Amino acid sequence: MPSRRTFLQTTALTSVAASFSPNTLLTATRPAKDRLGVALVGLGYYSTDLLAPALQKTKNCYLAGIVTGTPEKAEKWKKQYNIPDKNIYSYQTFDQIANNPDIDVVYVVLPPSMHEEYVVRAAKAGKHVWCEKPMAVTAKECQNMIDACAKNKVSLAIGYRLQHEPNTQEWTKGLRDGKIGKILMVSCSAGYYDGRTTHWKQKKEMGGGVMYDMGVYVLQGSRLATGEEPIAVTAQQYTSRPDVYKNGLDETSMAQLIFPSGARAAVQTSYGMNMNFLNVTGSKGTLMMEPYSAYNGQTGIWSNGGKIEHPYEVPWQQTKQMDDDAQSIMTKKPMLAPGEEGLRDIKIVEAIYQAARTGKEVKIV
Amino acid sequence: MPSRRTFLQTTALTSVAASFSPNTLLTATRPAKDRLGVALVGLGYYSTDLLAPALQKTKNCYLAGIVTGTPEKAEKWKKQYNIPDKNIYSYQTFDQIANNPDIDVVYVVLPPSMHEEYVVRAAKAGKHVWCEKPMAVTAKECQNMIDACAKNKVSLAIGYRLQHEPNTQEWTKGLRDGKIGKILMVSCSAGYYDGRTTHWKQKKEMGGGVMYDMGVYVLQGSRLATGEEPIAVTAQQYTSRPDVYKNGLDETSMAQLIFPSGARAAVQTSYGMNMNFLNVTGSKGTLMMEPYSAYNGQTGIWSNGGKIEHPYEVPWQQTKQMDDDAQSIMTKKPMLAPGEEGLRDIKIVEAIYQAARTGKEVKIV
């Protein structure tokens, strides 16, 4: 049990944690038999504000350890989440995680350029791996990650939170069930204004560029809407801040996807503006989701009748995703969004950059 | 006064006319002093189902004459709208309209390939001219039409019904007033399923192709949203019915517009699917109109508060457009949507076809 003093310190540290029951602080010391122990690798915004809070709510897994290069962060997290010293790693000591039975899953939440290395190292350490999207910078890296996990007989899941959430599942099922007939056109936009200038999202060598980040959501929107893989793309990229987005880094990307059925998608993604909707035109009606990829608040309208609206509080999506994936590991079932799913998106992202660079239609094989 | 028999015959001919007061049948015989006499050239669907009914409701103009190549249509319209024989023309007798004081305005509602000829002939006859959109097939034709009207000192208005209607005017004003800040991105789709195969819309030599027809609406949506003229375009065109849409005729067009401010638009238009929305992303919010270009039912939501919804019954838009334009002529004011406005769209349409054909970005000068 944490002391009252520890609890007070902990709750003072973060307003998010303060809303949880104090007994969630016990998670790190519970036996991992009925729940998987998760180690977060990379303690940036997404780990701090979403994954760690979500791991206080998960039923099938819990926050067992951390990997960070910043001693101050290690100290803060250790106190906040009552993480034992033996479960705290630096990037230098990371591989020793192989010997730690508390850690069942390594969740890689690093900049995209580091995904391949840490997924492969986690796999070699014999740990199941969860990896944030974008899966990696190149399709080749994605394949290496898939191969490493297969070779080491560990599971690999990509952090596609939307595939786990009920609004997305409802519209996807509705489209597959033919609610608006044959899918003909998808319009999908996802963007937010990012005022930062030195984050990895603004650094090409770290896997930056909006098409890798928010762009994956509009690709997911289009692929889930059509139920198909695009065979060719055209694309346009530009920036309103050439001092920040340079050397081929995109602040805004627009792309047009061609699907085998003849369906098309027009997708827009940006770090320069706030936008978020998915419009699907079918032969018998239309689906409009707005927003469609936010952390909550998704709302949808079927033109031929019916509304989609499953409300929940942040970080419900991340909680559900990790509980689903932990359950799949414990029951030895396939991951809902495995490495192959991440690879599909990165293949398209690479084609989009090539199409924008050359001004030509690029086939995807 | 029409006889009871004539009235019954008339109401039996069309359910649209049946909803009007019988005294609207008198319009054709009223003196043209306080209202302009309009002659419709081309009695297809748009004239029959929208313009003629609208001209029974207009206050500043009325249906004074018709020009048709089909004697059966002449007979039917003569009875239905009590049009005197002297105001009924064929395409052979059309130029004699110059001597008819009942006719103040010639409204050209023919296939686009015939617009130039009939607008120029009407101008030479000394009549004011209204011309349906698309204004013509080429920018050169548009310029000839503008020049002919200027030379003959008659007004020229293009049938941009939306520029006259209150929902469009409200969102346009809101955007110009900065309600959502700087305009950054426009997504606009307009299409319907056209099952016909031999209409002029499916004939290249008559000015067919969806980019000319529905495409003009998405261009208007983008231009009104940004308040700017595009300087370059990329485009993609395709068909799901290659037996109908051949030799470069487009069933579906997608285009990406670049505006001087840096704003972009992604537009989609089609004869193969029903779709209709306008999404405008600004630096301070979003506008979603859905539908945005229908004959009625326009509804809009400002993300930062407020709704746009001015309801009315069809054919209110056409009534308002013709009343506005007649008022401008009578008061010697500029047309709300003059020939120059039609020319701007056709320049873009031509650039879009070139971009789709070449696969390259095309600059608009």
- Mean pLDDT for the stretch of residues A203-215: 97
- Mean pLDDT for the stretch of residues A252-266: 98
Q: Is the dihedral of CA A173, A278, A245, B231 positive or negative?
A: positive
* Beta-carbon separation of B236 and A359 below 8 A: no
* Beta-carbon separation of B184 and A359 below 8 A: no
Which of A238, A266, A282 is the closest to B254 by Cβ? A266
B26–A contact, CB cutoff 8 A:
no
Q: With 50 as the cut, is the pLDDT of residue A98 above it? A: yes
- CA distances for A82 relative to A19, A21, A62, B61, B137, angstroms: 16, 14, 12, 81, 73
Residues of chain A with CATH 3.30.360.10: 163-309+339-363
The mean-pLDDT minimum among A1-15, A25-39, B128-142 falls in: A1-15
- Mean pLDDT for the stretch of residues A46-70: 98
Going by pLDDT thresholds of 50, 70 and 90, the confidence category of residue B33 is low
**Assigned CATH for A163-309+339-363:** 3.30.360.10
Cβ within 8 Å of residue B243, ≥6 positions away: none
- CA distances for A114 relative to A110, A131, A200, A205, A213, angstroms: 6, 11, 11, 10, 14
Class of the CATH domain delimited by B162-308+339-363? alpha beta
CA-nearest of B163, B165, B123 to B144 is B123
- Mean pLDDT for the stretch of residues A27-33: 46
User: Chain A residue with minimal CA distance to B360?
Assistant: A359
CA-nearest of B334, B327, B333, B197 to B272 is B197
- Mean pLDDT for the stretch of residues A144-150: 98
Cβ within 8 Å of residue A104, ≥6 positions away: A32, A36, A37, A38, A61, A64, A127, A128, A329
* Beta-carbon separation of B279 and A185 below 8 A: no
A240–B contact, CB cutoff 8 A:
yes
Cβ within 8 Å of residue A231, ≥6 positions away: A258, A259, A260, A363, A364
pLDDT of res. A33 = 59
Asked if residue A149 lies in contact with residue A327, where contact means CB atoms within 8 angstroms, the answer is no
Q: With 60 as the cut, is the pLDDT of residue B308 above it? A: yes
Which of A254, A272, A360 is the closest to B256 by Cβ? A254
* Beta-carbon separation of A281 and B189 below 8 A: yes
Mean pLDDT of the residues in chain A = 92
pLDDT tens across B335-347, in order? Answer: 999 999 999 999 9
* Beta-carbon separation of B288 and A286 below 8 A: no
- Mean pLDDT for the stretch of residues B212-224: 98
A283–B contact, CB cutoff 8 A:
yes
- State the nearest Cα–Cα gap between A63 and chain B, in angstroms: 37
Residue B121's φ and ψ, nearest 5 degrees, are -65, -40
A264–B contact, CB cutoff 8 A:
yes
List the Cα angle A52/A58/A62 in 5-degree steps.
60
The mean-pLDDT minimum among A138-147, B9-18, B328-337 falls in: B9-18
pLDDT tens across B255-265, in order? Answer: 999 999 999 99
What's the token pair of residue A232?
A: 């060719």
Identify the bridge partners of residue A187 per DSSP, sorted by sequence position.
A266, A279
Longest dimension (CA), chain A: 64
B184–A contact, CB cutoff 8 A:
yes
- CA distances for B360 relative to A138, A239, B236, B270, angstroms: 27, 20, 10, 21
- Mean pLDDT for the stretch of residues A34-59: 97
Place of tokens 């949507």: B337
Residues of chain B with CATH 3.40.50.720: 4-161
Assess whether A347 carries a catalytic annotation.
Answer: no
- Mean pLDDT for the stretch of residues A1-28: 35
Which letter, b or e, does each residue of A283-322 get, where b requires 16 or more Cβ atoms within 10 Å of its Cβ? eebbbbbbbbbbbeebbbbbbeeeebeeebebbbbbbbbb
Mean pLDDT of the residues in chain B = 92
In a mutational test of the B interface, the residue from A226, A286, A288 whose CB has the highest number of chain B CBs within 10 Å is: A286
What's the token pair of residue A267?
A: 């997708």
B314–A contact, CB cutoff 8 A:
no
pLDDT of res. A2 = 35
Assess whether B353 carries a catalytic annotation.
Answer: no
CA-nearest of A71, A274, A7, A300 to B279 is A274
Going by pLDDT thresholds of 50, 70 and 90, the confidence category of residue A338 is very high
Q: CB-based burial of residue A14 (10 Å sphere; 0-12 exposed, 13-18 middle, 19+ buried)? A: middle
B240–A contact, CB cutoff 8 A:
yes
Going by pLDDT thresholds of 50, 70 and 90, the confidence category of residue A14 is very low
- Mean pLDDT for the stretch of residues A97-111: 98
Cβ within 8 Å of residue B19, ≥6 positions away: none
Place of tokens 């250790």: A78
Pairing of the two strands A232-238 and B307-308: unpaired
Residue in B81, B118, B160, B217 annotated catalytic: B217
Q: Is the dihedral of CA B318, B319, B322, B328 positive or negative?
A: negative
Going by pLDDT thresholds of 50, 70 and 90, the confidence category of residue A47 is very high
- Mean pLDDT for the stretch of residues B350-363: 98
B242 prior amide bond cis, ω within 30? no
- CA distances for A176 relative to A169, A228, A308, angstroms: 10, 11, 15
Place of tokens 């537009």: B267
pLDDT tens across A223-250, in order? Answer: 999 999 999 999 999 999 999 999 999 9
Instruction: Name the CATH topology of A4-161.
Output: Rossmann fold (3.40.50)
- State the nearest Cα–Cα gap between B327 and chain A, in angstroms: 39
DSSP letter string, A148-180: HHHHTT--EEE--GGGGSHHHHHHHHHHHTTTT
* Beta-carbon separation of A236 and B234 below 8 A: yes
pLDDT tens across B152-206, in order? Answer: 999 999 999 999 999 999 999 999 999 999 999 999 999 999 999 999 999 999 9
Longest dimension (CA), chain B: 63
Cβ within 8 Å of residue B233, ≥6 positions away: B255, B256, B257, B258, B348, B351, B352, B355, B361, B362, B364
Q: With 60 as the cut, is the pLDDT of residue A20 above it? A: no
pLDDT of res. B153 = 98
pLDDT of res. B171 = 98
Place of tokens 């080429």: B138
CA-nearest of A349, A111, A98, A311 to A220 is A349
Residues of chain B with CATH 3.30.360.10: 162-308+339-363
pLDDT tens across B44-103, in order? Answer: 999 999 999 999 999 999 999 999 999 999 999 999 999 999 999 999 999 999 999 999
Pairing of the two strands A264-270 and A183-193: parallel
B274–A contact, CB cutoff 8 A:
yes
